[in-house]
Amino acid sequence: MSNKAAKSKAGKIALTCVVLATAFGALLYSSLGESLQYYKYVDEVMAEPAAWHGKNLQVHGTVVPDSIGRKDNTLEWRFDLQRNGKVLRAYYTGIVPDTFKAESEVVLTGTLQDNGFHATEMTAKCPSKYDAAPAGPAAQSATPASSGGV
Amino acid sequence: MASLGYYLLLTAFVVCAYAAAISVAGARRRSRALIESGIGAFYLLAAIMAVASAVIVYSFVVGDYSIKYVQRYSDSVQPLFYRLTSYWGGLDGSIMFWVSLLSVFGSAAIYVNRERHRELIPYVVTVISVVEMFFLFLMIVHNNPFQTFLTESPTDGTGLNPLLQNFYMAIHPPTMYLGFVGLTIPYAFGMAALITGYLDDSWLRAVRRWTMISWLFLSIGLGLGMIWAYEELGWGGYWMWDPVENAGLLPWFTATAFLHSVMVQERRGMLRVWNVSLVITTFFLTIFGTFMTRSGVVQSVHAFGDDPELARMFTAFMITTVVVSFGFVIYRLPLLRARNELDSWLSREAAFMVNNWILLFSAFFVLFATMFPTLSEAVRGERLTVGPPFFNQWMLPIGLTLLLLTGIGPLLAWRKSTVENLRDSFLIPVTLGVVTAVAVAALGVRVWTSGICFALSAFVCGTIGQEFWRGARVRQRATGTDVFTALVGLVARNKRRYGGYVVHLGMVLIFFGFAGEGFKQKEEAQLKPGQQVKVGSFVVRHDALSITDDGQKQMITAHVTVLRDGKPFAEMYPAKWIFRKHEESPTTEVAIHRGFAQDVYLVLATFDAATQTASIAVDINPLVNWVWMGFGLLALGIGIALLPDAVFSFATAPVPANAATAVLIFLAVVLSQGVALAQDTIPAIFRSPLERQVAGEIMCNCGGCRLSVNDCGMMNCHGKSGQMGKIQQYIAEGKDHDAILATFVREHGGYDVLMQPPNRGFNRVAWLLPYVVAIVALLGVGATARRWSRRQAPAPSAAPIDRELDARLEDELRNLD
């Protein structure tokens, strides 16, 4: 094969790579926009609640003792989350993880509304430092996140 | 004991450094003695690590709580089995476990290859030793598992988290580790080839098997993790794209890519830079996965410890690895020129290349999305996350494309397929796929991704079936035996190829199971006794709530009747257990009724003992079990590919075993009525243990209590006394536990006489199967190792008929390609 042919081939390959990379990059970027969630601590959100109003959020905080309430005969929960003295009222309907209780650390996914944070998903962190399993899917603590799927 | 352990680690480090240095010196001076000395030092390392492991295991067994690690991960009441597995229960011990495994694996690889690849071995020793040195260094300066309390030590340990005292949790980590550790071997050989410049394909031959074994362990490790998450965590699924899960998946993608592209290099001498880069990337990703999950770099729901110092050390090691490895690749580029060009895009090598790109892209994508929160924090100063839907959105089309390629690849010929080739080989599989697509559409399947997946599955099955059938026919004509024997002979002649097809079939099953996810139904309801909730075609009725106690834990069990189309379908008992020592974290005992078509999956979420109210989460998970069966088949396929030739000398020997396994799975699924854990009951003193056990498992038939004969509280209960009488009678007849239960089931005409349906039958097969195959495979490797280690006598010349047959089959198969 002549040098020239080799060069044009390398050019073609480079071009293909660039086109593919750009296409995937663009797709990735566009699809990213819809599924982005901000990951914030309670005090960060409460510092400027208006800025977070209505946005997709993951809020991380500690459950305030004695704040957990549940409507009788329903799965509707109401509780307060706090961090560094800032408190956020939260609402959640559904089954809560085993480890959800006073003083437990939880991460809620949902949106901030006028009367508080409406969560669609709750994951609870294990209270103790938990580093039992090596890299692998089984290293899950009791965090029955309600989301899932293949 | 602790100081002994620590000195052993120090010695190991010194020995490791010696092995690395002396091997380089030996290779440069071409001194046989120095090289042998390096190899010997490496074996010594394995021995030292074995002793160190023994020391820590011993400390766990005797409960030496002066060692911090032992104190933190075990206590005096922990069963022996979990004391042993506590070895890898925490970070420090798991690093040590890693080092030990790598030293054993490395020794085996060096032993097997020391004569055949004499020019590579010194550098293989060096590379593995350097990797070992890094981890030993970590342990010595930062994560010493033998660290002791400076002040007075506690008298008892804090105990392993009850969630980890679980069978799957005990076996899943070592499986993952074997996979991770094993992938260091191909890297070491690849680097040795780069360093020495012996870049012909011989290093590939040396690592092929090791890669397959590691890939097998990695796959099974992932599968076990999925089963564990499904059965123990109680959120109804098995994969949620958590960073820890992804960490295991990343090297799996690149190792899969390597297993395919290696064939292109062997056959056509192409993709040589690519292959060596893949090996390096795979190794890098194993280290990166460990780094990601251990150093607190990625936020995960699994509160990992933040450990910036560990993060720094890992970063330094990873950067060094990448720079040195790819530096050598660039340095050796002139030697890595491809021997051939791609002739046509309609060729098998092109299909392999596309497959590689997609797999590599998958790895890149998962890495990107997993690291996204960290990246966004670094770039924008704000932590942004992406959820499982984002992963699914991307991985779904990628997965389907890969499935399509699985069907196309084997049908294409090497170099270039002609139009006739294509028509001839694609006709049947494509027809099958199209027919399935039409049927699926006609049946009104509303989830189109699942529909496509079904059609593609049929297409791939068509491809694989056709490959086996045509190959067997050719061989049958040539040898004049029956089709079955011809099939076995065919597989024996090209184990890697046909083992690979079996792996593909396993992947099809896994995808088939994934497709079921599209039809998942989920409901959560708060139910009083007698109330019911409808989910799909099932009605779930809450009958009663019982609270029992066995001294160790309180067990709250919901008694639930599941009806399908108005007819009774199953009795299920989801429960919540509250352990005395860990009242703050109750465990969820999921009840699963398994079947080929779907699992009914019940979780008792919350309860109110006073009103007998229970909130129950109902998941209908279609086709889930096919995923586990797929993993079994995958292990079987690798097993076939790894089997030593000797096994096939008994022509049909492996077949009955496989057939038996298949039958076993089939029977297990049919027979197993569901899963619930055997629950102990309140002890009664006057009865024999057997009687008490059986009475705890037989339902009292007084009609009202729905409790076991043991627990029915009614005085002079006629049902209880009747059942008790029978139990005593059967025991007197000398029947054992299983026989008694079987008799009850027979007399009653159904399993509902039992408190808990036969336990975990299907599961046991599902997880046992890969292990059985893995053990067989390991034995096979051992045998091969022995054979290889002997000087190869010139192979006895094959019978002329064989050679003739070989030529003919090869010829006809080539025409088929």
Residues A1-27: pLDDT tens digits?
456 666 777 788 888 888 888 888 888
Q: What percent of chain B has pLDDT over 90?
A: 40
CB-CB neighbors (< 8 A) of A28 in chain B? 365, 368, 394
The answer to whether residue A135 scores a pLDDT higher than 50 is no
Q: Is residue B557 part of a domain?
A: yes
Answer whether B294 sits within 8 Å of A131, measured CB to CB. yes
**CB nearest B229 (choices: A95, A105, A140):** A140
B326 and B194 in one domain?
Answer: yes
The answer to whether residue A85 scores a pLDDT higher than 50 is yes
CB-CB neighbors (< 8 A) of B91 in chain A? 131
* Confidence band, pLDDT 50/70/90 cuts, at residue B367: very high
**Cα A109 to chain center, whole Å?**
6
The answer to whether residue B733 scores a pLDDT higher than 90 is no
Which residue matches tokens 């794209």?
Answer: B241
pLDDT tens by residue, B97-152: 999 999 999 999 999 998 888 889 999 999 999 999 999 999 998 888 998 888 77
Residues 6+ apart with CB under 8 A from B97: B53, B87, B88, B174, B177
List the CATH number of the domain containing A68: 2.40.50.140
Q: Is residue A135 part of a domain?
A: no
Q: Is B307 left (phi over 0), alpha (psi -120 to 50) or beta?
A: beta
The answer to whether residue B800 scores a pLDDT higher than 50 is no
The stretch A65-82 carries a mean pLDDT of 86
The answer to whether residue B734 scores a pLDDT higher than 80 is no
- Among B85-89, B406-410, B697-701, which range has the highest average pLDDT? B406-410
Question: Distances in Å between the alpha carbon of B209 and those of A129, B186, B496, B640?
Answer: 39, 9, 10, 12
B171 and B153 in one domain?
Answer: no
The stretch B284-298 carries a mean pLDDT of 82
Q: Is residue B63 part of a domain?
A: yes
C-beta atoms surrounding B667 within 10 Å: 13
CB-CB neighbors (< 8 A) of A35 in chain B? 386-387, 389-390, 393
B319 and B183 in one domain?
Answer: yes
- Chain B's closest residue to A103, CA to CA, is B584
Phi and psi dihedrals of B618, rounded to 5?
-110, 125
**CB nearest A98 (choices: B177, B225, B588):** B588
Domain of residue A42 covers 38-124
Buried/exposed B20-47: b ≥16 CB within 10 Å, e otherwise: bebbbbbbeeeeeebbbbbbebbbbbbe
CB-CB neighbors (< 8 A) of A147 in chain B? 240, 387-389
Interface mutation target, options A29, A140, A141, A147, chain B, most CBs of B under 10 Å: A140
A89 and A103 in one domain?
Answer: yes
The answer to whether residue B672 scores a pLDDT higher than 50 is no
The answer to whether residue B574 scores a pLDDT higher than 60 is yes
Q: Which of B353, B370, B403 is the last residue of a domain?
A: B353
CB-CB neighbors (< 8 A) of B87 in chain A? none
- Among A28-42, A72-86, B1-15, which range has the highest average pLDDT? B1-15
Answer whether B163 sits within 8 Å of A141, measured CB to CB. yes
A59/chain B closest Cα distance in angstroms = 11
Q: What percent of chain B has pLDDT over 70?
A: 79
Answer whether A135 sits within 8 Å of B168, measured CB to CB. no
A108 and A87 in one domain?
Answer: yes
B311 and B339 in one domain?
Answer: yes
The answer to whether residue B549 scores a pLDDT higher than 70 is yes
- Among A68-72, B338-342, B456-460, B645-649, which range has the highest average pLDDT? B456-460
Range with lowest mean pLDDT among A91-95, B139-143, B206-210, B445-449? B445-449
What global pTM score does this model have?
0.78
A31 and A105 in one domain?
Answer: no
| Structure tokens that stand for A141 in this block | 């603590």
B207 and B153 in one domain?
Answer: no
Q: Which of B353, B368, B399 is the last residue of a domain?
A: B353
* Confidence band, pLDDT 50/70/90 cuts, at residue B805: low
A56 and A118 in one domain?
Answer: yes
Q: What is the ipTM, given to two decimal places?
A: 0.74
CB-CB neighbors (< 8 A) of B393 in chain A? 31, 35
Q: Which of B160, B191, B215 is the last residue of a domain?
A: B160
CB-CB neighbors (< 8 A) of B222 in chain A? 136-137
Q: Is residue B306 part of a domain?
A: yes
pLDDT attached to residue B317: 94
Phi and psi dihedrals of A16, rounded to 5?
-55, -45
| Structure tokens that stand for A62 in this block | 């500690």
A15 and A45 in one domain?
Answer: no
B629 contacts B509 by C-beta, under 8 angstroms: yes
3-state secondary structure B276-293: HHHHHHHHHHHHHHHHHH
B214 and B150 in one domain?
Answer: no
C-beta atoms surrounding B194 within 10 Å: 27
Interface of B with A in 97-156 (CB under 8 A): 98
Count of domains in chain A?
Answer: 2
pLDDT attached to residue B780: 57
Domain of residue B316 covers 161-353
Answer whether B302 sits within 8 Å of A141, measured CB to CB. yes
The answer to whether residue B771 scores a pLDDT higher than 70 is no
A42 and A94 in one domain?
Answer: yes
pLDDT attached to residue B300: 57
Answer whether B388 sits within 8 Å of A138, measured CB to CB. no
**CB nearest B299 (choices: A1, A39, A131):** A39
The stretch B432-447 carries a mean pLDDT of 89
* Confidence band, pLDDT 50/70/90 cuts, at residue B155: confident
B101 contacts B188 by C-beta, under 8 angstroms: no
A118 and A55 in one domain?
Answer: yes
pLDDT attached to residue B280: 96
Range with lowest mean pLDDT among B238-247, B310-319, B513-522, B574-583? B574-583
The two beta strands, A57-63 and A36-41, are: parallel
The answer to whether residue B301 scores a pLDDT higher than 90 is no
pLDDT attached to residue B478: 83
Phi and psi dihedrals of B142, rounded to 5?
-130, -40
A91/chain B closest Cα distance in angstroms = 17
Task: Please state, rounded to an integer, the average pLDDT across all residues of chain B.
Answer: 81
The answer to whether residue B461 scores a pLDDT higher than 60 is yes
Task: Using a CB–CB cutoff of 8 Å, tell me whether B388 touches chain A.
Answer: yes
The stretch A79-96 carries a mean pLDDT of 89
Phi and psi dihedrals of B726, rounded to 5?
-60, -45
What 3-state DSSP class applies to B790? coil
CB-CB neighbors (< 8 A) of B392 in chain A? 149-150
A98 and A68 in one domain?
Answer: yes
Count of domains in chain B?
Answer: 4
The stretch B516-521 carries a mean pLDDT of 90
pLDDT attached to residue B324: 96
A48 and A31 in one domain?
Answer: no
pLDDT attached to residue B503: 96
pLDDT tens by residue, B305-319: 567 788 888 999 999
pLDDT tens by residue, B593-646: 999 999 999 999 888 888 888 989 999 999 999 999 999 999 999 999 988 766
A119/chain B closest Cα distance in angstroms = 14
pLDDT tens by residue, B192-251: 999 999 888 888 888 888 999 999 999 999 999 898 888 887 788 899 888 888 999 999
The answer to whether residue B589 scores a pLDDT higher than 50 is yes
